[in-house]
A and B are shown apart, each in its own frame.
Chain A
Amino acid sequence: MDTLKLRKRIPATALFDPSIVLPAVGQAFVKLDPRTLAKNPVMFVLEVVTLLTSALLLRDILIGQPIAFELQIVIWLWFTVLFANLAEAVAEGRGKAQADALRSTRTQTRAKRLLMPDNRELFEGVSADVLEAGDLVVCEAGDIIPGDGDVIEGIASVNEAAVTGESAPVIRESGGDRSAVTGGTTVISDRIVIRITSSPGSSFLDRMIKLVEGAERQKTPNEIALNILLIGLTIIFVFATATIPSYVAYAGGTISVVVLVALFVTLIPTTIGALLSAIGIAGMDRLVRFNVLAMSGRAVEAAGDIDTLLLDKTGTITFGNRLATEIIPAPGVSEQEAARIALLASDADETAEGRSIITLVQDKYHISREAAAAGATFIPFSAATRLSGVDIGDRKLRKGAIDSVLKFARDATGHDIAEPPAFRAAVDRIARTGGTPLGLADGNRIVGVIHLKDVVKPDVKERFAALRRMGIKTVMITGDNPVTAASIASEAGVDDFIAEATPEDKLRYIRGEQADGRLIAMCGDGTNDAPALAQADVGVAMQSGTQAAREAGNMVDLDSDPTKLIEVVEIGKQLLMTRGALTTFSIANDVAKYFAIIPAMFAAFYPQLGVLNIMHLSTPQSAILSAIIFNALIIIALIPLALKGVKYRPIGAAALLRRNLLVYALGGVVLPFIGIKAIDLAVTALHLA
């Protein structure tokens, strides 16, 4: 695993960074606007009843009634609303900090728009904002690319640090899988012609800014369902509390509206209601910190539900280049000698395979690279001979495909030579395990065979095991033949593989899995991946990929690291879990609140119910006040959890549920008993009630 790629582009800000919290406090007041709160039904209801009690308070002030208790309740009700707003504002503030960082990289770009499609030299300078999809622009070294598009002519190196944070330049060229360019990035060499694909204001960078700011945040399906549940619970508590005055009247007592509102507010799920949007914003935020850009919140949620993960072998599971792993000498040749010849034959070989041979010889046989022998002539690989090597004087050292090496040895002797049986056995063994045998000859002498292998990345096996524990099946896609594929699949520990895969195979596999009711995620970068990316439930396109792939997927990975899907899945799960945990906590809290408020409410006419005051709260007023204060403060206390999320552990659903229930359900029942009692002690000590 390349840990460098997981570096965070924007360092996580401290949870309560003053530069975020201070403006958020202001925002909390702005958000009191009922039109804003109407989007959050629980909070809207809270504000309505708070306004109602404020009006009653005003009336009581005017008619000169004692208001000390009522005033405190009203103040804490307003605090509850403000704390909820604050949670959302802090989450948005953190997103905004990121957006500002992005925005600062975007300057007012000038574009060189071609006047006539055929004439590459004739262009006008226009502002980037006016570019429409389909316009052709020219970018030369030093120019900032004015918008998202495809390179249709030329090749250039581009610095994409503005978007990806990675400062090493990348190559962008017309045709092929590296044709997409992103607005805001800088051309640092050569000259390219780009066809703009985004309209003004909807470029990649624009979308990214909007996303992290939460400006375009739409409620996800799961969030809508949860909201319905919370509305349902709120209505139940309307029934439970609105009927009380009549019951009390029957019992011969009276009850003040303020106390009734206090009971209602503590019962309705204000905690989760207050934190719901903060959780959603923070989830997106986490994803962006991982350099993954989701096109919608829906995609993030879907990621948490993934059953099957399709991964390209090359680059994801293996390093992508075959590497030398061992040298097997032919009979009569010492291992040291075979290694020395392998080193000489590869000395000038700049291919990844050639370099891996040198590394192997140096590391395993401790033979240092000598200065190239005088008169050495390097023979580069040619498709005709399928050999490469070196001529040192009349010594001709060659390495290459087995057949070609044998032919070379035969040609050198001029007559047929017997292929040593041990050599053949080694070759067969390598082929059988999915490796590539590379023959080694010194003139007419067969020296040995080099085992080239598709090396599996060091920790993928653990990552796949982690996925399996999450209940996710991994499937490797490769163009290799089934033998090679099976060997690598077993080494990497994937659950299944598709060998000799064509794009159609991928699509067929995805549809098959979906028909069986599974959700599929895949990564891709090429244009031919686009149909599969679009079909998959979660399609992660690589930033380095084509525009077509990026359009087809519902996430873009700015680091082009396919193994990051695992983190994406975790973030999706974390999002749901945080909502679930806080909902459970919020509802579980109600038990203690009932025990605080019910005996206090009915104390005047049914003193027997004092038995239910198991917390021994000092007075009815202090009981009610303590419950409402606890209800407000718990929102503040849980903001960090809402922003950080509940940690996901791949321990199986039942174990995970048991754990979360223990913490959030049982904790949710117990904690308020302690909290309310503590607040009651404080309230009594301060003579507040």
Chain B
Amino acid sequence: MTVLGWAQILLFCGIVVAVAPLLGGYMTRVFNGERTLLSPVLRPVETAFYRLAGVDETREQHWLTYTIAMLLFHAAGFLVLYGLMRLQALLPLNPAGQSAVAPDLSFNTAISFITNTNWQNYGGESTMSYLVQMLGLTSQNFLSAATGIVLAVALIRGFARTSARTVGNFWVDITRCTLYFLLPISVPLTLFLVWQGLPQTLSAYVDATTLEGVRQTIAVGPVASQVAIKLLGTNGGGFFNANAAHPFENPTALSNYVQMISIFVLGAAMTNVFGRMVGNQRQGWAILTAMGVLFIAGVAICYWAEANGTVLLNGLGLAGGNMEGKEVRFGIVASALFAVVTTAASCGAVNAMHDSFTALGGMIPLINMELGEIVVGGVGAGLYGMLLFVIVTMFIAGLMVGRTPEYVGKKIEAREVKMAMLAILVLPLMMLGWTAIAVVHPPAVASMGNAGPHGFSEVLYAFTSQAANNGSAFAGLTGNTFFYNLSGAVAMFVGRFWMIVPVMAIAGSLAAKKTVAASSGTFPTTGGLFVGLLVGVILIVGGLTFFPALALGPIVEHLAMQSGSLF
């Protein structure tokens, strides 16, 4: 580890923390329907959409109506995306002449993109036409991200409102979210990436003759526009198979740095939106601090593990840490940081092969996802995931100080606890359950790239990533098989929607409650004690859930490596 390395990491944190309140203030105004800088231009477009769709923007929805609207919207999104992939051979903008995508792969990919997972059992440049990439995948990048954000906003309204029946209007929220900040931020980000060297073209792949005289086809396409939202919306689905390790997707150290910030910035701003909407920005800061503690701890371990390399590499006289699977233009710090960022947030873009990380270095991304991606997390999803843990934490803390638990003035009662536990249970069920099936299902075992604990980690990582809607792959595992396409789709679908419905039920039940006045008997949720307790509960619950699996994967692999055995 170097001072310069840590300076990069701390600068990254500083920028994210500085931008969060600015963006948070703007987002709060957008969701409250207040005038913003962009209103003169965008307001007419917005109202035009409502008129076209017949939406009455003043009419708010009950939580159930809101949820049903969201689910219908996704059902339609799924059908469109699935159709586009199956029919891409017949559709225009297919200069590479890609044939129809196989049914199981289309199913997996469609679920993957509507759930904001962007798990890819395919290589983009060898499978998808430009039309599918732009109209299908990129538009889902926007909409699935917007969905995460508006659901979090609905939950925030539940906390903020008093004795209310409604939590907002899904159609209005998703329109505003896309129109007022996802698009306006994506445009300059795209231009920046083009400047850094990303292609943005509709022309066909380029044929080149190499110095050795070999003909090589170089894939290009509308890359920059898709990459901008893939990061901003924590989608992570790469245009190319190699994702952000590909020189056309992430060419420079600067583009890498900006991409990492783009991954975190909206998720961090959501904590500020929460603080503003519940009337005390410090509530938002407390949550961001808890996320920050977990993040820094993760970065520290991952960076340490990668920078130190392994006993075996050192034994071969290789100093300078573990460079296997890393791009030389990024090096160890930027690769370790990217890995932690992309899994802390639910992005899943990768600039290095996590499979090649040391056992402990690779365990950190795994743990990040197992905890439910609540460290900044997916846009919106990270916040509502974190708020589930806050509910559990405050329930226990409330009991410990002898008051019926409450958080930002809302009493936490049986219904909230029930829904929070339901939502929290979904992830371990999908992650551990599917792994348990896969490791004893011979065709699934055959897909593993390595044997022993490392192969186990590959499978555990795959299902963890999908259930948590991350989408990053450990690599090493051949995912495009019937079993993995189908089981993965189920994990992604359940991990997203079975979590969302209880979250929305909490939003509805909280909104209907009175806001309780704080007194000196109320446990303050803006201080260090709250942050510490929240972090403690997350680690204990996460640790207790996943300890056996981690022990049989990365932990035993690490211990075995210490004594010289590899898998």
Residues of chain A touching chain B, judged by Cβ–Cβ distance below 8 Å, are 221-222, 224-226, 228-229, 231-232, 235-237, 239-244, 246-251, 267, 301, 304-305, 307, 468-473, 516-518, 572-577, 579-581, 583-584, 587-588, 590-591, 594, 598, 602, 606, 608-609, 611-612, 648, 652-654, 656-658, 660-661, 664-665
- Would you call B520 an interface residue if the criterion is a C-beta within 8 Å of the partner chain's C-beta atoms? yes
Among B508-567, those with CB < 8 Å from A are 514-517, 519-524, 527, 529, 533, 536, 540-541, 543-549, 551-552, 555-556, 559-560, 562-563
Q: How far is the CA of A231 from the CA of B422 in the complex (A)?
A: 10
CB distance from A75 to the nearest CB of B (A): 25
Q: How far is the CA of A356 from the CA of B518 in the complex (A)?
A: 44
When A224-B414, A225-B414 are in contact, do A517 and B515 touch as well, CB less than 8 Å? yes
When A240-B428, A608-B556 are in contact, do A246 and B437 touch as well, CB less than 8 Å? yes
Are the C-beta atoms of B549 and A243 separated by less than 8 Å?
yes
- The stretch of B271-279, B322-330, B371-379, B394-402 that contacts the partner chain: B394-402
Q: How far is the CA of A664 from the CA of B520 in the complex (A)?
A: 22
Tell me which residues across on chain B come within 8 A of A652, comparing CB atoms: 520-521
Tell me which residues across on chain A come within 8 A of B562, comparing CB atoms: 608
CB distance from B369 to the nearest CB of A (A): 16
- Central interface residue in A598, A657, A665, by most chain B CB within 10 Å: A657
Binary contact track B427-464/A, C-beta < 8 Å → 1, others 0: 01100110111011000010000001100100000000
Q: Which residue of chain B is the closest to A658 with respect to CB atoms? A: B529
When A225-B413, A518-B517 are in contact, do A250 and B445 touch as well, CB less than 8 Å? yes
Are the C-beta atoms of B517 and A517 separated by less than 8 Å?
yes
When A228-B421, A591-B540, A652-B520 are in contact, do A246 and B439 touch as well, CB less than 8 Å? yes
When A304-B402, A591-B540, A653-B524 are in contact, do A247 and B519 touch as well, CB less than 8 Å? no
Tell me which residues across on chain B come within 8 A of A587, comparing CB atoms: 540, 544
Are the C-beta atoms of A222 and B527 separated by less than 8 Å?
no
When A250-B440, A471-B521, A518-B516 are in contact, do A576 and B547 touch as well, CB less than 8 Å? no
- Would you call B425 an interface residue if the criterion is a C-beta within 8 Å of the partner chain's C-beta atoms? yes
CB distance from A452 to the nearest CB of B (A): 37
Residues of chain B touching chain A, judged by Cβ–Cβ distance below 8 Å, are 162, 392, 395-404, 409, 412-414, 416-418, 421-422, 424-425, 428-429, 432-433, 435-437, 439-440, 445, 452-453, 456, 514-517, 519-524, 527, 529, 533, 536, 540-541, 543-549, 551-552, 555-556, 559-560, 562-563
Q: Which residue of chain A is the closest to B448 with respect to CB atoms? A: A250
Are the C-beta atoms of B402 and A573 separated by less than 8 Å?
yes
Q: How far is the CA of A517 from the CA of B413 in the complex (A)?
A: 15
Which one of A473, A653, A664 lies within 8 Å of B403 (CB-CB)? A653
Are the C-beta atoms of A472 and B519 separated by less than 8 Å?
yes
Q: How far is the CA of A588 from the CA of B540 in the complex (A)?
A: 8
Are the C-beta atoms of B522 and A580 separated by less than 8 Å?
no
Q: How far is the CA of A240 from the CA of B432 in the complex (A)?
A: 7
Are the C-beta atoms of A225 and B417 separated by less than 8 Å?
yes
Are the C-beta atoms of B409 and A606 separated by less than 8 Å?
no
Are the C-beta atoms of B404 and A247 separated by less than 8 Å?
no
Are the C-beta atoms of A573 and B418 separated by less than 8 Å?
no
Are the C-beta atoms of B400 and A657 separated by less than 8 Å?
yes
Q: Which residue of chain B is the closest to A305 with respect to CB atoms? A: B404
Q: How far is the CA of A581 from the CA of B396 in the complex (A)?
A: 8
When A516-B517, A608-B563, A653-B521 are in contact, do A580 and B404 touch as well, CB less than 8 Å? no
**Secondary structure dominating the interface of A:** helix
Are the C-beta atoms of B552 and A240 separated by less than 8 Å?
no
CB distance from B42 to the nearest CB of A (A): 38
Tell me which residues across on chain B come within 8 A of A221, comparing CB atoms: 404, 413-414
Q: Can you identify 25 A-B contacts, CB atoms within 8 angstroms?
A: A228-B418, A229-B421, A239-B432, A240-B548, A243-B432, A247-B435, A250-B440, A251-B552, A301-B404, A304-B403, A468-B520, A470-B521, A472-B519, A516-B517, A517-B517, A518-B517, A580-B397, A580-B400, A580-B402, A583-B399, A587-B540, A590-B540, A606-B552, A612-B555, A656-B402
Q: Which residue of chain B is the closest to A597 with respect to CB atoms? A: B548
Tell me which residues across on chain B come within 8 A of A222, comparing CB atoms: 399, 404, 413
- Central interface residue in A587, A608, A660, by most chain B CB within 10 Å: A608
- Central interface residue in B402, B445, B545, by most chain A CB within 10 Å: B402
Tell me which residues across on chain B come within 8 A of A236, comparing CB atoms: 424-425, 428, 541, 544-545
A225-B418, A231-B421 known; 19 new pairs, CB 8 Å cut-off, are A229-B417, A229-B421, A239-B429, A240-B547, A240-B548, A243-B432, A304-B402, A305-B404, A473-B519, A518-B517, A573-B401, A577-B400, A577-B401, A590-B544, A608-B563, A653-B403, A654-B523, A657-B523, A664-B400
Q: How far is the CA of A30 from the CA of B11 in the complex (A)?
A: 65
Q: How far is the CA of A660 from the CA of B401 in the complex (A)?
A: 8
Tell me which residues across on chain B come within 8 A of A606, comparing CB atoms: 552, 556, 560
Are the C-beta atoms of B556 and A225 separated by less than 8 Å?
no
- Central interface residue in A229, A251, A653, A661, by most chain B CB within 10 Å: A653
Tell me which residues across on chain B come within 8 A of A250, comparing CB atoms: 439-440, 445, 456
CB distance from B449 to the nearest CB of A (A): 15
Tell me which residues across on chain B come within 8 A of A576, comparing CB atoms: 398-399, 402-404
Q: How far is the CA of A581 from the CA of B400 in the complex (A)?
A: 6
